[in-house]
């Protein structure tokens, strides 16, 4: 299970940062636009199915 720390989300850039770290570990990256997180969560960018994001 991977956990997203919502306390660090203060805007869209913060959301991308904490989502990237939750999915890909410290310093993880999921992109910087609205489509990037969806692409990363589908797999192939550090995530291997099945996984749970809390």
| pTM of the model as a whole | 0.68
- The C-alpha atoms of residue 43 and residue 23 are separated, in whole angstroms, by 10
* pLDDT in the model for residue 31: 80
What was the pLDDT predicted at 39? 74
pLDDT, tens digit (0-9, with 9 covering 90-100), for 7-41? 878 898 888 888 888 877 888 888 888 787 777 77
- Using an 8 Å Cβ cutoff, are 44 and 50 in contact? no
- Residue 44 pLDDT exceeds 70: no
Extract the tokens encoding 1: 């299970």
């Amino acid at each position: 299970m991977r956990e997203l720390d919502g306390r660090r989300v203060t805007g869209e850039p913060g959301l991308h940062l904490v989502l990237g770290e939750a999915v890909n570990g410290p310093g993880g990256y999921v992109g910087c636009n609205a489509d990037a997180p969806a692409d990363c969560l589908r797999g192939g960018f550090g995530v291997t199915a099945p996984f749970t994001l809390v």
